[in-house]
A = this chain, B = another copy of it.
């Protein structure tokens, strides 16, 4: 222990450090790698924060009203009148959730994501459930937002409707790329589209109400819808469940408290209040106006587009509204591209997901998580054919499950700490938790057959996967533990060189083998007797006095006789380590590799699973020709 051990640190900081595994296309798309020291947050103002963290929540007004009306329309045109009371309930729910989350913001100034809050207060199991729900939620956010964004575009340009899946995938690919490059939460990028969208919707609503109320805009009678289901309480609940998608993304601000300027918590809470107010107003306004205009959901044009058409005509203003909607929806998808990889990082750091998800890429983003999200979102777009309505039933369950768990976690926290004023705070969170819990049950049950079952099964699978991964890592850590380990030096070291002929590559391998150990044997597997004869002849000259063993192979397999030989060898010399040296070629062009037998590859694969045998390739580099 007292002996001197040299530990040296080499730090060659190179501005243009170029990882060897990059190729030029990657550099072109992603830019130069960034140093770890370049990471770090910039603090942002409330105005910018509202833009950055609200795009997900605000963008839901693009589809929430429509989803309510779509369910109601099953019971015929008259049933559409129930849209307004249902939207009011949703708005009330928003109020409760916002109040509840303000408390999370104050309690977790370091960021209070549902996974963190639930794990800390309710334990690992519920935390993982929240984690599973959120991962799916973020994935669905991308899919729904992109699908709805494409719908905004195809409402304005109907000829693109048949290409909607392709457009969606291209958008996902662009966002993935942008995130791999590393989008900072920069106000310059996010503020304009968000405020532009708010402005567009506000302008449209004001103009609309003015034209309907004051000018008495003539509204065409709605088309008579065929009644396919009776108007039951269940249908109303289903419509309410669909409307609850308006609340998705509300939790974003509470995750991101550290990004605010000081005093962080206060600023974040204020921003949350503003966001909820804007979201509620827009959502109610759109619903009321849709009702006044007697609009009916159509598969080829969104409700928002219909309103814009009715209020603004078909001019430039209309296209501006559609562009604003599409933009904010793309931003909303982009939000999930920072949330998903960050949550995956937390889960991977805690050992519940593969460690690769905790690595930072060239540009400091969690590249693996970003790529994974992009691929899954593209897959979902294909499966659901870019149809927003088909994905919505899967969406809200996970969101409300994480709301519920996170707020119940807060309840537990207040109860455990019993700080001054804890009773009121606990009550607030309890109200929020119970309300969202009830809503979650309503959503899960009314939407169960329409797709919620898929999400529930996926959440269960994710949950068990988390546990399985954690168990494996725990097992590996135990296996690798040095506790009580006594190094036992191997009693000797032998080298076996596998040869298929006598040539320069083989002689080089023999030289290397001799540098490793004095106990070297060469082994050749005989498939063709004539080849052995040639080897024999030349061995006397080039074999360096190393003994050669020829293994006859009746069945022309190279691997099998070699394995038998090594098993025999290990049996006779139980404590020895055996190194198998394989002379290999490295060709200068990839297709040249097709021209050489892939036996070395097979041998490596077979020996990988033999303990006590180490395989080494000694490469002979072929020149370029």
Seen from chain A, the residues whose Cβ lies within 8 Å of a Cβ on chain B are: 1, 3-14, 17-21, 33-37, 354-356, 359-362, 469, 472-473, 475-476, 479-482, 485, 487, 489-490, 493, 502-505, 507, 511-512, 514-517, 526-527, 536, 538-552, 554-557, 559-561, 563-565, 577, 579, 585-586, 592, 594-598, 602, 605-606, 608-609, 611, 614-623, 625
Contact = CB atoms under 8 A, between A and B. Distances in A.
A545 B3 contact: yes
A620 B475 contact: no
Contacts of A13: 552, 554
A606 B500 CA distance: 26
A356 B480 contact: no
Given A503-B482, A504-B480, A622-B476, A6 B515 contact: no
B515 A487 contact: no
Given A485-B504, A512-B614, A614-B616, A479 B550 contact: no
Contacts of A556: 33, 36, 359-362
A606 B619 CA distance: 13
Contact of A12 (B6, B547, B564, B614): B564
A267 B538 CA distance: 45
Nearest to A611: B621
A592 B472 contact: yes
Given A493-B516, A577-B512, A9 B552 contact: yes
A9 B539 CA distance: 14
Given A511-B487, A539-B5, A615-B617, A560 B480 contact: no
Contacts of A10: 549-552, 561, 565
Contacts of A606: 20-21
A11 B565 CA distance: 11
A20 B527 contact: no
B489 A511 contact: yes
A507 B482 contact: yes
Given A476-B622, A556-B359, A608 B586 contact: yes
B611 A19 contact: no
B472 A527 contact: no
A421 B361 CA distance: 81
Contacts of A511: 487, 489-490
Contact of A527 (B3, B36, B577): B36
A526 B35 CA distance: 13
B547 A6 contact: yes
26 contacts: A1-B541, A3-B545, A5-B545, A7-B539, A9-B526, A10-B561, A12-B564, A17-B554, A19-B557, A20-B559, A33-B557, A34-B555, A35-B554, A35-B555, A36-B527, A473-B595, A479-B620, A479-B623, A480-B620, A481-B503, A482-B507, A485-B507, A512-B614, A516-B517, A614-B617, A616-B616
